[in-house]
Amino acid sequence: MKQKGDLPKEIRKDHDLHLSKKVIKLVPEYLLKKRKAYQALKATQAKLALLEKRKVSKGKPLKFKRLEDFLKDSHKKHRDETRISRGEKRPPAPLPPARNRLAFGVRIREIKGVSPKVMKVIQMLRLRKIFSGTFVKINKTSVAMMKIVEPYVAWGFPNLKSVRELILKRGQTRVGRKRVPLTDNTFIEQHMVCNPINGKHGIICLEDLIHEIYAVGKGFRAANNFLLPFKLSVARHAARDKAGLLKDLGNPGFRGVDINSIIRQLN
């Protein structure tokens, strides 16, 4: 019988390759899957760590809440609940004169830590962001809502000039996920007249929209929902002196016709 050394060179190579294949141990499939999942997890962790490092390096401190903040929020919440409870026991405030059917509300105070009831009304009025404003139709319900958010929202009766300037300068609507400025009558006609819900009100241009809002006509609700909340600008000095700006704006709550001066300051 021939020994391995007696075999031709080519046959010896094939024989060695065959033996080497036999000793290779195959890795079980479940271990491969486990390893792949582990590598994906490590990659994700590394990516998150890098992003967090970049945030810190940019000077953005990690957010944490101190005990004083919790106590402050708790106090504000309790104060809101007490105020609302007392207000509900009082007789309802009389409605403004019939000529004042339109109000404009603008949030000029932070709402961090407010009671759930206040937050709910803020959301219903679409005043989620500070220095945002919306038109409100005056009735018994809306006046009660304004009383609930009185420490955070300034409101009053806008004149035609204020309504016109707000809509012409800052009027926007939503198309899909985009905010679109109202600068084209054709666009308004397409989205108001062609809409099966809004089309019956005959709003075909900016002037029609302004008139429907100011006159609080039958199409007020459709026109007001068509408008996004107004993102009012903050005076340039507010970045340096926010307290000074808030002092200039005055106190929140009912401001009557003085709301027009606030609109001029923020528009």
| Same domain, yes or no: 127 and 206 | no
Q: How many angstroms separate the CA atoms of 109 and 129, rounded?
A: 10
Coil vs helix vs strand at 158: coil
What's the DSSP call for residue 201? G
Q: Which amino acid is at 170?
A: R
| Same domain, yes or no: 182 and 207 | yes
Examine residue 13 and state whether it is found in any structural domain, yes or no.
no
| Same domain, yes or no: 128 and 198 | no
Higher pLDDT residue, 146 or 51?
Answer: 146
| Same domain, yes or no: 193 and 148 | no
Tally of structural domains, the chain: 2
| Same domain, yes or no: 220 and 198 | yes
| Same domain, yes or no: 150 and 206 | no
Examine residue 261 and state whether it is found in any structural domain, yes or no.
yes
Higher pLDDT residue, 194 or 144?
Answer: 144
| Same domain, yes or no: 86 and 134 | yes
Q: What is the pLDDT at residue 2?
A: 47
Quick check: pTM over 0.75? no
Mean pLDDT of the chain: 80
| Same domain, yes or no: 79 and 140 | yes
| Same domain, yes or no: 223 and 107 | no
Range of the domain at 197: 172-227
- CATH number assigned to the domain comprising residue 105: 3.30.1390.20
pLDDT in tens, 19-48: 555 444 555 666 667 777 777 777 887 888
Q: How many angstroms separate the CA atoms of 83 and 32, rounded?
A: 63
Q: How many angstroms separate the CA atoms of 135 and 126, rounded?
A: 10
| Same domain, yes or no: 152 and 250 | yes
Q: What is the mean pLDDT of residues 227-241?
A: 73
Strand bridging mode 102-107 / 132-137: antiparallel
Q: What is the mean pLDDT of residues 127-145?
A: 93
188 near 179, Cβ under 8 Å? Answer: no
Task: Provide the token pair at 81.
Answer: 């609940």
| Same domain, yes or no: 87 and 143 | yes
Q: How confident is the model at residue 221 (pLDDT cuts 50, 70, 90)?
A: very high
Examine residue 155 and state whether it is found in any structural domain, yes or no.
yes
> CB under 8 Å to 221, separation ≥6 — which residues?
137
